[in-house]
Amino acid sequence: NAGVMQNPRHLVRRRGQEARLRCSPMKGHSHVYWYRQLPEEGLKFMVYLQKENIIDESGMPKERFSAEFPKEGPSILRIQQVVRGDSAAYFCASSGSTGAYYEQYFGPGTRLTVT
Amino acid sequence: RKEVEQDPGPFNVPEGATVAFNCTYSNSASQSFFWYRQDCRKEPKLLMSVYSSGNEDGRFTAQLNRASQYISLLIRDSKLSDSATYLCVVSKSNFGNEKLTFGTGTRLTIIP
């Protein structure tokens, strides 16, 4: 049973370019969460999605960032016109219905470097 | 004030010793509590959920004090492989489907 998959694992973009990060949840999971970890900081929630719906985007920056989880295919986190401050590790987590708790399992992350 | 506070450490502990981490949370609406571990440049991995009655998993024991909004993790007979950053995590839901709020982590190094 494959775990959460993310690609690419490493992504280098120049300032002003677009970054697209992909996440495939664990088999049977329909809830996807994106978190960002800046260097030497803790993980911060960005957005929570179910298939075709954004449930909570309270942690998303208002500009340049968007996320989707289409009916078919992986969830996508899109960052337009990247800046150096966007350099971070972006982790995706997924959850399903396991007993009474929806424990979140994390993918290996995408390390974005903006030059 | 941070929503989840942890002593960043580092804790440098000899192999075989017992080590304890503490964590406090500020949101009294928090309902679910977890410890994750994160190895350098890797993803967080769920270590254990924390229940009100306290729970144990092998060498690991977690305790929750709702009145004091305090969570603890005890590691007995520490191994070299326990070296990692330990993340205290809370959620406002006890049915899941809610964002996780992470502490910044406590770094543990087990010394041979």
Q: Distance between CA A45 and CA A36 in Å, rounded?
A: 7
pLDDT at B85 over 80: yes
| A112 contacts A82 by C-beta, under 8 angstroms | yes
Query: How does residue B35 score in pLDDT terms, banded at 50, 70 and 90?
Result: very high
Query: How does residue A74 score in pLDDT terms, banded at 50, 70 and 90?
Result: very high
**Is B105–A106 a contact, with Cβ atoms under 8 angstroms apart?**
no
Structure tokens at B2: 């941070």
Q: Which residues of chain A neighbour B99 with C-beta distances below 8 Å?
A: 33, 45, 48, 56, 58-59
Strand A53-56, strand A88-95: pairing: unpaired
Query: How does residue A29 score in pLDDT terms, banded at 50, 70 and 90?
Result: confident
Task: Provide the 3-class DSSP secondary structure of residue A86.
Answer: helix
CA distances (Å), origin A36, targets A27, A82, B19: 23, 15, 29
Tell which phi-psi region holds residue B95, choosing left (phi > 0), alpha (psi between -120 and 50) or beta. alpha
**Is A41–B103 a contact, with Cβ atoms under 8 angstroms apart?**
no
